[in-house]
Structure 1
Amino acid sequence: MSDVAYQAERDVLGQLLRGADWSEARVLCADDFERADHRLLYAAIAELAEDDAPIDLVTVGERLEATGRLERVGWEYMGVLAADASLAPIETRVSLVRRESRKRSALVALAAAQRAVMGGEDPAAALANAAEALEGRETPGPLSMAAVVEKGLEAADLAASRSRMGGTAGAPTGIPFVDQRTGGFQPGRVWVLAGRPGAGKSAFALQASIHAAKRGHGVALVSLEMGAPELGIRAIAQHAGVSATMLTLGDPRGIEALDQARVNELRPIPLRVDTETHQIADLLAGLASLSRSGTRVVVIDYLQRVVGGEGSKRHEQLGDITRRLKRAALRHGLCVVVVSSLNRENERDKRRPGLSDLRESGDIEYDADVVIGLHRTGLDDTPAYDVEIGILKNRTGRIGWAREPFSFDARYQRFMEPAYRQGAA
């Protein structure tokens, strides 16, 4: 045990025994303390805090004695801690304890990754597992009911505040029918956007990403189908109202029609694009970094092209992928939006999709909080056509199909909602 860790642990515990503000130390957990007796002592203090009981040398000693742990700590040692504790602000010592704990956890996780690689495991998967282990150490333990109620009230107050200002609880998609029923992209949730080829899944995902980013929400778009040039052309076509086909084929009329002021409006929005990450291990490793940088929505286009996942069959691998994405969404406070194909039966029948139509679905329909279905109603070869949009699953609201179809114009890669208010079909 390093001298820094030893002294920091002593100072935190000693100051708490002398009546320091518990709220500054509650970010710690017992496992952050390296010495066993320090872990026991902190656990006893935390128990008293949860009971709203006084915390001092006497009450902590009595709690340890009542639970049969006092002999492993000792009255004398507790007295020494209280007497010798530093007078420095407790938050500085708490930070040191956390830092030393993270260092120890990192060494353990990296050693485990090294053993896994030496044993034949894929290096990327081993590193991702190490990252997950470290992130798990940051996860607080079980919350009291009072804390859960408080978090619920905070979420409700935030949603109400945004609603009063004409917004949504989460990042808006820009499609009122969807936003009104789901509250937009909310943290900790997984969305699935499903449809047959030609239904406009990628266009919907890009349009919603741009809309959310234009309103200040950090968005990351992971595209496994298109490179940056194609995505850039589609974004310009959507926002500036210029044919993507013209821009792609080099038709001079496309460039001449561009309004540079409209194009420049896209440059500063907080939307990042990743066209290189395909492995689920790399995706998971990147989510923590994205969250720390202010990203709130991550769009993956599309699920069936994600490589990896545990299981011998593809549907088992996809089930593992969506479960891990769901855990990551909860851990990092992200909304993860996954574009998904449908099974062959739906493509053959040409009908509205249902939850059972998710291709190689595994547990996708169970892990998802919201599932949006897109259904192209006509098959004629025209650039603009009708697409029905339905909410197939919604944990917190209504499901159903919009009463009238939306217009999708492939030239501009843009969905247009009927001007009048939507209802359920």
Structure 2
Amino acid sequence: MEAPHNLSAEAGVLGAILYDNAAFYRVRDVLHGECFYSLAHRAVWEAIETHIREGRVADGVTLREWFEGESRLKEIGGAAYLGDLLDQCAFGPEIIDYAGMVASLWKRRSLASLGGELSKAAMNSGDPDKLLGEHEAALEELQKHSGAVVETHDAGASLLMALESQKDRASRFVKMGLPSLDRKLGGLMKGAIHVLAARPSMGKTTLATVIGHEMAEAGAPVGFFSLEMPRESLATRKACYEAWKRGRRIRYFDVEQNQARPEDLEFLAGGVDALSAKRFMIDDRMGLCPQQMAAAIRSMNMRSKRAGHGPLQVIFVDHIGHLKPDEGRRNRYEDTGNVSKALLEIAKRFDLAVVVMVQLNRASQAEKRKPLLHDLRNSGEIEEDAHSVIFLHREDYYLERAQSEGTPEEQADASRKLTAVRGQAEIIIAKNRNGPVGTELFTHSMDNNVIRERGNVERAA
């Protein structure tokens, strides 16, 4: 069976450009050389493109001279064929229709070819996830050429396009639901990595579940890869945060240790937002590699679309130290760098924001200072790859430890200082490619899995 094509449409487009080179600019965004089924047509398109991009006229005379100089005139059927193309020239709006037809037929041929390759490879490959990942890039390349040909006739149309472009840029960011952070960051940019880093026990997972919950509640589908905490524990934390928002303080470790009051358990069960829960999907498998994560994202996207919510807008990875590289392990620095690059590729491939949790080393914890960008130096190239870097710091954590473990003098000093900072969390925006950096003060109730804007944490009695 012959591959789908339309030689008349191809000739009509080429003839129109030879007649008036301005027509090239009307179709250049939707066509490229491979779109042409005829090898002669492909050669003529490439010659036209070369001439116009170099500022030269591309018509029957100049192309004949060029093909003769390249000893390729016979390849296109001789000088007479250039005249035939002019005879088949498409006029007016027809060139738009013809160009769309040529591009559509190329996509059909490409899909058929890709399907054949995929079918053949599937019979011989032992790893379907790897196979999907390898062929996904080819599908994405086809999607890049899926835009329609658009004509603008006046300044008003250009202005409308500019306004649409601004709307599109705004849609590139997913609001976090924490106004002070959204004002500085604009939200989490899709197609990018965002680092959420802290020392152990600071509350990284708490902050991530709060942001994820707010996003899901606002309508953005969220995927959460919990690589060290079981999904039941993560769901419990999220439920306790929901309970706090509805006015009830329930400690998540009471629930996990079967010490919660029956009325609290009933309150938790009755308050689960079914729609929000469906938009917040958890994968708690350990030892994943980025390729397996990509396969999981595809599955989550299908589930989310079936539920009418659209594809994922953001994923959380808790945390990067538990991800395996796609290839064999080398050393921790190289492994983390390779994983970071793979996560950036996932962000771009699926057009979503990737929030990567990073646990800072315990050596820096002994200093009890606020974290800095250079604390990420042992985490591969993730700081370089990241669009934004956020640190979470709680001074009260160190003071509470000093109050119970320090010398009598240290205990007394910690007690005095603790009064001023108890329940306070600092979220430090250390890197922001879109705008300002700086520190925002939040309040927290870690027992209830809550980190909120200052003044809001006392909502529940």
| TM-score, normalised via structure 2 length | 0.70
1:272 maps to 2:281: yes
**For residues 213 and 258 of structure 1, do their structure 2 counterparts lie closer, same or farther at Cα, with a shift above 3 Å needed?**
closer
**For residues 154 and 327 of structure 1, do their structure 2 counterparts lie closer, same or farther at Cα, with a shift above 3 Å needed?**
farther
Tell me how far apart the structure 2 counterparts of residues 60 and 97 of structure 1 sit (CA, whole Å): 28
SS at match of 2:424: strand
Tell me how far apart the structure 2 counterparts of residues 114 and 34 of structure 1 sit (CA, whole Å): 29
Q: Report the equivalent of 1:413.
A: 449
One-letter amino acid of the structure 2 residue matched with residue 255 of structure 1:
L
The 8 Å contact of residues 194 and 389 in structure 2, kept in 1 or not, is answered as: yes
SS at match of 1:217: coil
Tell me how far apart the structure 2 counterparts of residues 67 and 138 of structure 1 sit (CA, whole Å): 37
One-letter amino acid of the structure 2 residue matched with residue 390 of structure 1:
I
**For residues 378 and 71 of structure 1, do their structure 2 counterparts lie closer, same or farther at Cα, with a shift above 3 Å needed?**
farther
Question: Pairwise CA RMSD of aligned residues?
Answer: 4.3
**For residues 377 and 111 of structure 1, do their structure 2 counterparts lie closer, same or farther at Cα, with a shift above 3 Å needed?**
farther
1:54-73 matches, cutoff 5 A:
58=60, 61=63, 65=67, 68=70, 71-73=74-76
Aligned residues: 395
Q: Report the equivalent of 2:336.
A: 318
One-letter amino acid of the structure 2 residue matched with residue 245 of structure 1:
F
Residues 93-118 of structure 1: CA distance to partner in whole angstroms, max 9, x if unpaired?
53232122133245557778988x69
One-letter amino acid of the structure 1 residue matched with residue 108 of structure 2:
R
One-letter amino acid of the structure 1 residue matched with residue 290 of structure 2:
I
Tell me how far apart the structure 1 counterparts of residues 216 and 55 of structure 2 sit (CA, whole Å): 43
Q: Report the equivalent of 1:295.
A: 312
1:364 maps to 2:382: yes
The 8 Å contact of residues 44 and 76 in structure 2, kept in 1 or not, is answered as: yes
The range that moved more, 78-87 or 99-108, is: 78-87
Identity of aligned residues (%): 26
Higher relative contact order (CA 8 A, sep 6+): 2
How big is the shift at 1:393? 0.9
| TM-score, normalised via structure 1 length | 0.75
Tell me how far apart the structure 1 counterparts of residues 112 and 394 of structure 2 sit (CA, whole Å): 53
Residues 73-112 of structure 1: CA distance to partner in whole angstroms, max 9, x if unpaired?
2355566678789999644553232122133245557778
SS at match of 1:295: coil
Q: Report the equivalent of 2:111.
A: 102
Which among 418, 422, 426 is matched to residue 388 of structure 1? 426
SS at match of 1:350: coil
1:236 maps to 2:239: yes
Which among 131, 134, 139 is matched to residue 129 of structure 1? 134
Q: Which has the larger radius of gyration?
A: 2
Any unmatched runs of 5+ in structure 2? 18-22, 146-157, 405-421, 457-461
Tell me how far apart the structure 2 counterparts of residues 276 and 29 of structure 1 sit (CA, whole Å): 43
Tell me how far apart the structure 1 counterparts of residues 117 and 350 of structure 2 sit (CA, whole Å): 22
Q: Report the equivalent of 2:409.
A: none
The 8 Å contact of residues 443 and 455 in structure 2, kept in 1 or not, is answered as: no
The 8 Å contact of residues 204 and 415 in structure 1, kept in 2 or not, is answered as: yes
How big is the shift at 1:358? 2.5
The 8 Å contact of residues 43 and 76 in structure 2, kept in 1 or not, is answered as: yes
**For residues 298 and 415 of structure 1, do their structure 2 counterparts lie closer, same or farther at Cα, with a shift above 3 Å needed?**
same
How big is the shift at 1:31? 3.4
Tell me how far apart the structure 1 counterparts of residues 343 and 390 of structure 2 sit (CA, whole Å): 18
The 8 Å contact of residues 12 and 88 in structure 2, kept in 1 or not, is answered as: no
SS at match of 1:369: strand
